[in-house]
Amino acid sequence: MTRIWDETFEGSGYVESWNWGETVDSGCTLNEDATPPGGAPAAWGSQCLRSINTGSNSDAYIGHTLSSAETEVYFRIECYLNAEGLGNGQAQGFFAAYDSGFGDYFAFYWEQVSGQIYITLFETHNSTVSRSTNPIALQTFYRVELHYDGSTGDWEWKLDGTSQDSGTLTSGYPSDMKTFFIGHSEDQRACDAYFDLIAVDDADWIGAEAEATTGPFDGRIDEVGIWSRALTGSEVDDLYNAGLAVSYDDLT
């Protein structure tokens, strides 16, 4: 696995080269040096991206185009929906990944359904709509992950490490992904959100391949630990979010 591009928003201005630039309509706010909300995971550091859409205009986002289109791509973003003004059946986009022809894409939205907010994935090639298994809570940190293989059309997305949905696109599907948008775009809904720990890799999830017939993981893994017992979900989250190694009393 190779890290193609990442962004943690630390330092002054954009740390990475957001070569698509930013789009901010009147009345909206986009701050790449925002202070993370209280209780943020340690790995968020001291700065993050904040996007505020007032509802009167549609766009407050940044974009990046990879130097070359990737046939297989894994994307991760951590997000925190601070406030929303969605009505029933309304949605607001916060992440989109486009192919090199800027045609087909995957897009994540916050969507209100019967008074509850879900994270929804919309895939344009087959017009697939996939909603998170459970509603999300405001002012809560979530990790959203997407894997797409343009050689097979296979896709899967996860929320906090748990698979939400997967599928295979039909013939004529996009062969790659290249451009990424982060922040509020496409809709005119009042939302206030924070984002951090954005990463794009050129392979599947870290670990063994999903299909046993494809063989073992071929790559490198950093900061490996071995425990004498299974860790709880909260302990795994602590390890992931700390950014540095975390030890437990019964570490072997």
Same-domain check for residues 133 and 250: no
Same-domain check for residues 216 and 180: yes
Report the pLDDT value the prediction gives residue 102, as an integer from 0 to 100: 87
Please compute the mean of the pLDDT values over residues 230-235 and round it to a whole number. Answer: 74
Confidence class for position 28, pLDDT limits 50, 70, 90: very high
What CATH number does residue 23 fall under?
Answer: 2.60.120.200
pLDDT of residue 61 exceeding 60, the answer is yes
Same-domain check for residues 249 and 161: no
Same-domain check for residues 202 and 187: yes
Same-domain check for residues 209 and 232: no
Same-domain check for residues 67 and 167: yes
Same-domain check for residues 124 and 241: no
Average pLDDT over all residues of the chain: 85
The DSSP line for 149-218 is ETTTTEEEEEETTEEEEEEE--TT--S-EEEEEEEEESS---EEEEEEEEEEESSSSSSS-SSGGG-S--
Same-domain check for residues 63 and 175: yes
Full domain range(s) for residue 250: 223-252
3-state secondary structure at position 44: helix
Confidence class for position 234, pLDDT limits 50, 70, 90: confident
From residue 214, how far is each of 3, 169, 211, 218 by CA, in Å? 21, 20, 6, 10
Kindly state the helix (H) or strand (E) to which residue 242 belongs, with its residue range. helix 233-242
Same-domain check for residues 153 and 74: yes
Pick from 33-42, 125-134, 161-170, 238-247: least confident: 238-247
Same-domain check for residues 18 and 103: yes
Same-domain check for residues 93 and 189: yes
Is the pTM for the entire model greater than 0.85? no
Better pLDDT: 203 or 109: 109
Please compute the mean of the pLDDT values over residues 169-186 and round it to a whole number. Answer: 92
As for how many domains the chain has, the answer is: 2
Same-domain check for residues 100 and 152: yes
